Amino acid sequence: MGMGFLRGMRYEAVRAIASYYNTSTRGGHMTYRPLEISTVTDYIRDTALMGSIFSKNETLVAEDLADGNVNLVFRVSNGTTPSKTASVIVKQALPYARAVGESFPMPLKRISVEHHALTVQAQYCPQWVPRVYYYDEEMALMVMEDLNQHVIMRKGMMQQVQYPQFARHLGLFLARSLFYTSDLYCASEVKKQQVSLRINPELCRVTEDLVFTHPFIDHPGNHWNPRLTEEIHEIRKDSHLLAQIMDLKDRFMTHAEALIHGDLHTGSIMLNQDDTAVIDPEFSFYGPMAFDVGSLLGNLAISYVAQGAYGLDTKTAAEYRRWIAESIRTIWTVFSLEFRSLWSTNAQSWNNEVYMDQYLHRLLRESIGFGGIEIIRRIVGLAHTVDLEHITDNAMKTYAEITALRMGRLWIQRSNQLTHIDELLSLIREVAL
Ligand code: SR1
Ligand code: MG
């Protein structure tokens, strides 16, 4: 994704960093090793999965599926389609971000962060997270359910596929995963202990830099379509806007509200017409609930804008945009109804309707602010999104990106005034004609 220019740090340096985090050595011997397509089947063969998922002596085959920014991903199965009857996904962390290279070190222990988050989410929302079959901390890997009947949502949206269950599922997933890990539900001491155990400083720092800081200053990791330069300079000159962004960054860094996913974009959702799975919570930590809601809404808005530049006929584009807008409304409506219901049933010591209303309004405002920042960073910062990047017509791409930048800026600016999700939908329609 245009991040190769950061490649080049010596591998020894990366190993030293991994070793510093104390996740790649045991008794002085290196046990961690990155798997390859030629070694992953042997790895699986040595696990108890032979005899549970797979039969003891069957032949295994591997495919390389990695296409995200960060990790190695393989599918291991007992044959190729149509003879395949069993398969798993092997997800392994590298000591750096895969799509950037060794110049972008990332700790191996992010797999343990992800494993923990999936375990907690499975407690409250088992139907919307992938099952973990096997976890190897030393190898920094998990073997997981193969969601081969699902697609990555961002890709499905680029084909204008509508997912009728998605918005309701995500509204419920957000409400339950966030409510049950917040102070509204948890015992005070337990929550504080969890906050301290689940700190994720290295990946939080990635978000602080890539989302909240670098896009708004000169930084070598940024890159953008040169035709956007004027618009970006306008954003960077707007002190009031920057102050709002800093306020939200402070919120991200200091508000340990609930165990959040931490990177809930449309590439972190796999789904089909009936089922939805939220994957990849390696950025998870106790942070502001609205960061998850806002990341999701911001990425839906990016797709909304991009639909106008795919060369679709007017009716198809308008119909798909209507579906995206309706999904945004449903996510928020289901989220807030479910959150209120959980609050009323489970939060006796917070029993106050006025405070509940205030709390939900604050979450809406913060979500829209975080969503606006997410939109801008995906155009200006290090990590872009394929929904905009794959637009081939230069003029259309520029138009879509300028529209998205304006959308992001307006979301941030208006976030403090909005009181109802319908006002956000009007804003989206006003900006993206
Ligand atoms: C090097 S990590 C870049 C981005 O990919 C992840 O999915 C996060 O969104 C992060 O900001
Ligand atoms: Mg990810």
DSSP 8-state secondary structure symbol assigned to residue 330 = H
pLDDT tens for residues 330-386?
999 999 999 999 999 999 999 999 999 999 999 999 999 999 999 999 999 999 999
Report pLDDT for 67: 86
Q: How far is residue 336's CA from residue 76's CA, in Å, rounded to a whole number? A: 40
Percent of the chain scored above 90 by pLDDT? 90
Q: How far is residue 25's CA from residue 23's CA, in Å, rounded to a whole number? A: 6
> Average pLDDT for residues 397-412, to the nearest whole number?
98
Report pLDDT for 13: 38
Answer for the pair 258, 419: CB distance below 8 angstroms, yes or no: no
Task: Answer whether 206 contacts ligand 1 (Cβ < 6 A).
Answer: yes
pLDDT tens for residues 8-62?
333 333 334 444 443 443 344 459 999 999 999 999 999 999 999 999 989 999 9
Q: Calculate how far, in angstroms, residue 266's C-alpha sits from the geometric centre of ligand 2.
A: 10
Report pLDDT for 30: 56
Phi, psi of 285 (to 5 degrees): -170, 175
Answer for the pair 13, 40: CB distance below 8 angstroms, yes or no: no
**pLDDT at 229 exceeding the cut of 70:** yes
Task: Answer whether 100 contacts ligand 1 (Cβ < 6 A).
Answer: yes
Dihedral over alpha carbons 341, 345, 346, 352 (to 10 degrees)? 80
Q: Calculate how far, in angstroms, residue 163's C-alpha sits from the geometric centre of ligand 1.
A: 25
> Average pLDDT for residues 71-75, to the nearest whole number?
97
Q: State pTM to two decimals.
A: 0.93
Answer for the pair 111, 24: CB distance below 8 angstroms, yes or no: no
* Residue of minimum CA distance from atom 1 in ligand 1: 97
H or E stretch covering 134:
strand 132-136
Task: Answer whether 73 contacts ligand 1 (Cβ < 6 A).
Answer: no
H or E stretch covering 168:
helix 166-179
Number of helices (H), then strands (E), belonging to the chain: the values are 15, 14
**pLDDT at 7 exceeding the cut of 90:** no
> Average pLDDT for residues 84-111, to the nearest whole number?
95
Q: Is the bond preceding 82 in cis, omega lying within 30 degrees of 0?
A: yes
Alpha-carbon distances, residue 77 vs 43, 62, 247, 272, 294 (angstroms): 13, 7, 48, 21, 37
Q: Calculate how far, in angstroms, residue 325's C-alpha sits from the geometric centre of ligand 1.
A: 25
> Please, which residues bridge with residue 151 across strands?
271
Q: How far is residue 78's CA from residue 212's CA, in Å, rounded to a whole number? A: 44
| Residues near 314 by beta carbon (within 8 Å), at least 6 away in sequence | none
How many CB atoms sit inside 10 A of residue 375's CB?
27
* Residue of minimum CA distance from atom 3 in ligand 1: 383
Q: How far is residue 63's CA from residue 73's CA, in Å, rounded to a whole number? A: 9
Q: Calculate how far, in angstroms, residue 383's C-alpha sits from the geometric centre of ligand 1.
A: 6
Task: Answer whether 210 contacts ligand 1 (Cβ < 6 A).
Answer: yes
Percent of the chain scored above 70 by pLDDT? 93
Report pLDDT for 82: 77
pLDDT tens for residues 304-327?
999 999 999 999 999 999 999 999
Task: Answer whether 373 contacts ligand 1 (Cβ < 6 A).
Answer: no
Matching residue, tokens 């920094």: 140
Q: Calculate how far, in angstroms, residue 330's C-alpha sits from the geometric centre of ligand 2.
A: 24
